[in-house]
Amino acid sequence: MSAAPRPSEAALIARFFAPLAGPGTEGLRDDAASLAPTPGHDLVLTADAIVSGIHYFPDDPPASIARKALGVNLSDIAAKGAAPRGFLLTLALPGDWTEAWLAGFAEGLGQASRDFACPLLGGDTVGSGGPALIGVTAIGEVPAGAIVRRTSARIGDRICVSGTIGDAALGLRMRLSPEAAWVPRLDADARGHLADRYRHPRPRLALAPALLRFATAAMDVSDGLAGDLAKMLAGAGRGAVVDVAAVPLSPAADCAIRMEPDLIEAALTGGDDYEILCTVAPGDLDGLRAAAATAGIALAVIGTVVSGGGPPVFRTEAGPARVFTTGAFSHF
């Protein structure tokens, strides 16, 4: 019903996306790709979309947006214990897209694709009629039957989280309220760290083998630790007790929270961490920690799975235990 005086979709694909194409795609000159898992493996499939003005800022660099779109999907792949095999891209562009933007996007997507060893397998480019939307379907693989599920935690399991929590939520706050008192009091490195963590998810793909071997359940933290932990354990009919002091914070987040203690709530409930939340039987905890260390990924023990299905209880040394009943940050 509408046609813009623009390069054809075929020309865009050939110029920007064919260089990213993996095997089985005929260089994106066909309408579908073929893919077989490594013998003895299952494929693992997930889809997440990010929308301009909702999941990222319209003026974010296009290379960052591309990395985020792929990264948030590969975070799910990692949490299932899987290794990436490829992805499909649905790119819905606003009416005012430019070739410079698209070139930057494709450049960033190509770099992320190489960094994560995850080639492009196909996709579609359409006009959005509104803001940009970048939809990705990511495909990984695990040994047959070995996918690490979300709702399989058991009572007594220890709860672990990778990396650090809250950086992205604070990076987003900083961006939305640069006039907040705590922001200028952080040094430039700390501000840069928080901003980068919001913009550039780091899917914990290196942790996948450790999860496969030791975790009883896992998911990625995308909508806030408190809400995602609640989802994980509600699905298992379990609860959790979390020691807030054990939740791993970066020096930047720690510094911000010392200046403004209420920010701990943003850190625990804000989204976009893209860390791994997992549970492990107490007897496998040392094994999981050693495997994570070998993978070069920090892993903190933050609590324990308990019976009963209420929301996770967050305990602090000083002050009452907290329950975050409002749930997770919602992207929707």
Of 104-133, binders to a second copy (CB under 8 A) are 121-131, 133
Task: Count interface residues toward a second copy (CB under 8 A).
Answer: 78
Q: How far apart are the C-alpha atoms of 275 and 229, rounded to whole Å?
A: 12
Residues 30-59 that bind a second copy (CB under 8 A): 30-37, 41-55
Binding mask 226-245 for a second copy (x = CB under 8 A): -----x---x----------
DSSP string, 61-75: -HHHHHHHHHHHHHH
DSSP string, 146-173: -PPPSS---TTPEEEEES-SSHHHHHHH
Residues 136-155 that bind a second copy (CB under 8 A): 137, 139-140, 142, 144, 147, 149-151
**Token couple for 45:** 């499939």
Q: How far is the CB of 293 from a second copy (least distance, A)?
A: 25
Residue nearer to a second copy on the CB measure, 85 or 289: 85
Contact, 244 vs 122, CB < 8 A? Answer: no
Contact, 89 vs 136, CB < 8 A? Answer: yes
Q: How far is the CB of 48 from a second copy (least distance, A)?
A: 5
Residues 234-293 that bind a second copy (CB under 8 A): 235
Query: CA of 15: how far to CAs of 18, 19, 61, 97, in Å?
Result: 7, 8, 20, 16
Q: How far is the CB of 171 from a second copy (least distance, A)?
A: 13
Residues 144-203 that bind a second copy (CB under 8 A): 144, 147, 149-151, 172, 176
Contact, 70 vs 112, CB < 8 A? Answer: yes
Q: How far is the CB of 189 from a second copy (least distance, A)?
A: 25
Q: Is 135 in the site for a second copy (CB under 8 A)?
A: yes
Contact partners, residue 100, CB within 8 Å, separation at least 6: none
* Total residue count of the chain as it appears in this document: 332
Residue nearer to a second copy on the CB measure, 144 or 293: 144
